[in-house]
Structure 1
């Protein structure tokens, strides 16, 4: 059903679903409850939403704090993005480290992002549609982030299009993480 690739960040996975192509186009299944259960992954998602972004847009680096932290399953349904995941779990051997993945609508890859990670992406194509499944409901009081350029990621553009909110997040060096690594 899925090819699973571990990332250098423990718990963060790249899932490559089977994609079926024919004369009509493409069909991809991105979630299958029993397969996720067999892999020990979250299967209960409370919300699903999507964003549409233009080329040069950066969204991130977002997460929700406890007790409303969540697992995310994200994928690009159209276009292409550079998706970045940052480990913010105190005590983790990869705390403050990140990994970048190119996600495309054509390939249908998904990222499984556990609790304790910040997430963001940069739009590489003219337009990209990103879909998010999350294990908890949106909680405005717990919705926060890390400044996009404060943890060493070499983004494709140093002057991206972004929200005022995203550009005002604290730098990672000033962030007191509420997440603890449970290796």
Structure 2
């Protein structure tokens, strides 16, 4: 079973798989081609990767541009993160707006994103482990981002730990969207 909840941005979903806790810990099925197909979700994933972040690490806002833009499935297997998504699709009624949710290893909830959505998160605990499943391979020539503090989101932390790369992204106001 898989519960889906539509987020504020069209096509963006929170997914809640069945979590099976017992005396050993818990067991979660994060992906089922049959269930994803049943709900009309992308089942053709090309790459899988993960990151481990300390508390107050902010990663984002990342996306790939066409033709290697992709569907993305993100979940947290350990710790907790404030997950933030930003709509970059010019034809979307929520273009330029963001939505957020908390992902945690205990809840095992996930976020499903269509192409044209920038993604980032703030780690709320040490050793927060985030997993990403994407429908296209990584392409350095199409790798891009939006400056983390340029779209009105208050991240709730005065001085997050951010990579130089993420600090160098253009602000949303200077981004000419390629997601028409």
2:50 counterpart residue number: 50
- TM-score between the two structures when normalised by the length of structure 1: 0.97
Report matched runs for 1:150-165 at 5 Å. Answer: 150-165=150-165
Report matched runs for 1:7-156 at 5 Å. Answer: 7-156=7-156
1:178 counterpart residue number: 178
Structure 1's unaligned 5+ residue stretches are none
Measure, in 2, the Cα distance between the counterparts of 1:89 and 1:20. Answer: 37
SS of corresponding position for 1:150 = coil
Question: Cα RMSD (Å) of the superposition?
Answer: 0.6
Give how far 1:24 is off.
1.1
Measure, in 1, the Cα distance between the counterparts of 2:177 and 2:40. Answer: 25
Measure, in 2, the Cα distance between the counterparts of 1:161 and 1:130. Answer: 16
CA deviation string 1:101-141 (max 9, x = no partner)? 10000110010011000000000012200000000000001
Give how far 1:160 is off.
0.7
Give how far 1:91 is off.
2.1
Give how far 1:96 is off.
0.6
Measure, in 2, the Cα distance between the counterparts of 1:145 and 1:139. Answer: 13
After TM superposition, what 4+ stretches of structure 1 lie above 6 angstroms from structure 2? none
Measure, in 1, the Cα distance between the counterparts of 2:97 and 2:34. Answer: 31
Give how far 1:159 is off.
1.5
Structure 2's unaligned 5+ residue stretches are none
CA deviation string 1:26-63 (max 9, x = no partner)? 00011110111111100010000000000010000000
CA deviation string 1:1-34 (max 9, x = no partner)? 1110000100000000000011111000111101
